Amino acid sequence: MAVQTVIRMGHPTLRLIAKPYPVDDIGSSAFLRLIQNMRETLHAQGGIGLAAPQIDVSTQVAVIEIENTSTRYGELDQIPFSVFVNPVISVADGKIAGYWEGCLSIPGLMGYVERYQHVQIDYLDEAGTAQSVEYQGFIATVIQHELDHLQGKLYVDRMKDPTQFAFDEEYQAYHVDESKEIS
């Protein structure tokens, strides 16, 4: 098991709709290896979420972990390492908010994206158990970003204003306080 290469925007795998993960394979050595590789890669990159297509595995698995609550996105609540297999998202209410997002597959850049702020995710966990969870606020944005990767979408697809696209340093210098509630 090892840190994997994170593929970058332009790699065709990032644009595929990922295949559902075979439920019977949850818990197999191949599954455990995939999860461990994703975890090690996430840690090595210092990210808060990773989807399997980002390590060139086109299957519906994503992970999230917020360990260090002081991030480039500001102060966040801690979230234990969580595995989402074959997740299905639904909107719990129509409230949206905008945040600047980054992506390990689009290194060095940040973009402002508006998303729903209260979503429900139905998924299988790493034990193959059906789970349902609701997320509100920034973590709702994070999970939508990761689940977009399973549909071949990147955050740049959801940007409405190309002037709200910046390199990390310029984001920190000029835009860091701009995340805001929209409605």
For residue 150, state whether it binds Zn ion (rule: CB under 5 A).
no
Q: Give the chain as a DSSP string.
A: --PPPPP-TT-GGGGSPPBPPPGGGTTSHHHHHHHHHHHHHHHHHT-SEEEGGGGT--BSEEEEEE-SSEETTEE---EEEEEEEEEEEEES---EEEEEE--TTSTTEEEEEEEESEEEEEEE-TTS-EEEEEEETHHHHHHHHHHHHHTT--GGGG-S-TTSEEEHHHIIIIITT--EE--
Q: Which is nearer to Zn ion, 103 or 119 (CB)?
A: 103
Catalytic residue among 146, 169, 170, 181: 146
For residue 103, state whether it binds Zn ion (rule: CB under 5 A).
yes
Minimum CB separation of residue 110 from Zn ion in Å reads 12
Sequence-separated (6 or more) residues with CB below 8 Å from residue 155 = 101, 103, 106, 111, 113, 145, 148
For residue 52, state whether it binds Zn ion (rule: CB under 5 A).
no
Q: How many residues at the interface with Zn ion, by CB under 5 A?
A: 1
Minimum CB separation of residue 139 from Zn ion in Å reads 15
Q: Which is nearer to Zn ion, 26 or 49 (CB)?
A: 49
Minimum CB separation of residue 127 from Zn ion in Å reads 25
For residue 126, indicate whether it is catalytic. Answer: no
Q: Which is nearer to Zn ion, 35 or 103 (CB)?
A: 103
Which range binds Zn ion by CB under 5 A, 75-83, 103-111, 115-123, 130-138? 103-111
What does the radius of gyration of the chain's CA atoms come to, in whole angstroms? 16
Which range binds Zn ion by CB under 5 A, 2-10, 96-104, 121-129, 175-183? 96-104
For residue 63, state whether it binds Zn ion (rule: CB under 5 A).
no
For residue 18, state whether it binds Zn ion (rule: CB under 5 A).
no
Minimum CB separation of residue 31 from Zn ion in Å reads 22
**Contact residues for Zn ion, defined by CB under 5 A:** 103
Residues annotated as catalytic are: 146
